[in-house]
């Protein structure tokens, strides 16, 4: 068994739309290479810094991620044409797909800056935590807005039709 400690530069696309490992940034890798009957079993851990954006309030997120790596690299292609696509040791082993799978499945699909982030006000976009508990808008609901409009027009002397005083109308009476 051999152990390896390495630092890799992150390849492209170790990310989901909102969060990921920036390409080119450091990925610290600790690997154990074990010779087994079928080939080489590689297990280990990778650690990197994440950059992203909160899915609720859009604040930047900086966080770390540690993922387990495990892959069996076969010494030779399986005989009899197995359907299963297996990685085969050639001159070197390519761990990039292993790292990518581990990272992308471990990333939160909807990252948050911290647990319980309340996000932004749907009306004005202010962060709800900054706004305080009593942050409300008068027109919370379009139905209330319609109601408010009604109340306004029925107020005495507001916007109702002016009483007509033309001579035509007086004749009809």
Instruction: Write the binding mask 3 to 42 for Zn ion: x where contact by CB under 5 A, - elsewhere.
Output: ----------------------------------------
Q: Name the residue nearer to Zn ion (CB basis): 60 or 157.
A: 60
Is 57 a binder of Zn ion (CB under 5 A)? yes
Q: Is 61 in the site for Zn ion (CB under 5 A)?
A: no
120 binds Zn ion, rule: CB under 5 A = no
Q: Classify 108 as helix, strand or coil.
A: coil
Q: Is 122 in the site for Zn ion (CB under 5 A)?
A: no
Q: Which residues of 8-42 are buried (b: 16+ CB within 10 A; e: fewer)?
A: eebeeebbbebbbbeeeeebebebeeeeeeebbbb
Contact 34, 71 (CB under 8 A): no
**Quick check: 124 binds Zn ion (CB under 5 A)?**
yes
- Rounded CA-CA distance 30/5 in Å is 5
Which residues of the chain form contacts with Zn ion (CB under 5 A)? 54, 56-57, 59, 113, 117, 121, 123-124
């Amino acid at each position: 068994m051999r152990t390896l400690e390495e630092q890799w530069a992150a390849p492209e696309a170790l990310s989901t739309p909102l969060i990921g490992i920036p390409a080119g940034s450091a990925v610290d890798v600790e690997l154990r290479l074990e010779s087994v009957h079928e080939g080489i079993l590689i297990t280990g851990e990778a650690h990197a810094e994440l950059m992203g954006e909160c899915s609720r309030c859009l604040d930047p997120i900086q966080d770390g991620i540690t993922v387990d790596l495990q892959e069996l690299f076969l010494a030779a292609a399986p005989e009899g044409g197995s359907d299963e696509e297996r990685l085969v040791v050639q001159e070197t082993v390519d761990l990039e797909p292993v790292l990518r799978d581990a990272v992308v499945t471990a990333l939160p699909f909807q990252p948050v800056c911290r647990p319980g982030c309340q996000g932004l006000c749907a009306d004005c976009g202010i962060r709800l935590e900054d706004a305080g508990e009593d942050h409300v808008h008068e027109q919370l609901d379009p139905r209330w807005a319609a109601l408010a409009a009604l109340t306004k027009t029925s107020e005495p002397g507001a916007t109702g039709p002016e009483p007509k005083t033309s001579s035509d109308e007086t004749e009809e009476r």
